Amino acid sequence: MTSPLPRWLQDHLVAQGHLAPGGITRHARVRRCRRCRVPVVSGLDDVVMADAVDVDPAPLGALAEAAALLRGCTTYDLARRAGKLVIDRRTVYEIQGWPPGTRRNVDVVKAHECGVQPQGLIGSTIEARRRYVLTDDPPF
């Protein structure tokens, strides 16, 4: 992976824990899986003691999340915060308290598995950036 950072700076950031060895940061980004070449979202799943994870970008419904968990697959929250995508591991508390589709700008996704098609998908709750157009007519 080529990085726009100088090699010495990337090594320093990895040593300090601010950057994962593959150049993955807390802000997730879309890339292609190295093995199967399908689009995945990659990022660190926490601020402290984080793992670099790849998730399928397709949002899951409650039944699909349950099926993924029964297969031993980890599920994550994919959220937009301050204009950036962030991945957070779902614990038992999030799974019980926030079923898929109940929070605005948060999708439930599963860890990427090469060759496994996600099922039970729902529409995304993450809103695209809006462009506000000012007009002379007030909205009231």
- Residues near 86 by Cβ (< 8 Å), separated by ≥ 6? 26, 27, 28, 43, 78, 79, 80
pLDDT value at residue 1: 47
> With contact defined as beta carbons under 8 Å apart, do 38 and 103 qualify?
no
Q: Is pLDDT at 4 greater than 80 in this prediction? A: no
- Could you tell me the residue range of the domain that residue 51 belongs to? 23-110
- The total of structural domains in the chain comes to 1
Residue 102 lies in a domain: yes
Residue 39 lies in a domain: yes
Alpha helix segments (H runs only) across 5-90: 7-16, 62-70
Reported as a single tens digit per residue, the pLDDT across 47-104 is 777 788 999 998 999 988 998 999 899 999 999 888 888 999 999 999 999 999 888 8
Helices (H) and strands (E) in the chain, counts: 3, 6
The band of 131, judged by pLDDT with boundaries at 50, 70 and 90, is low
Residue 76 lies in a domain: yes
Residue 31 lies in a domain: yes
Residue 78 lies in a domain: yes
Residue 135 lies in a domain: no
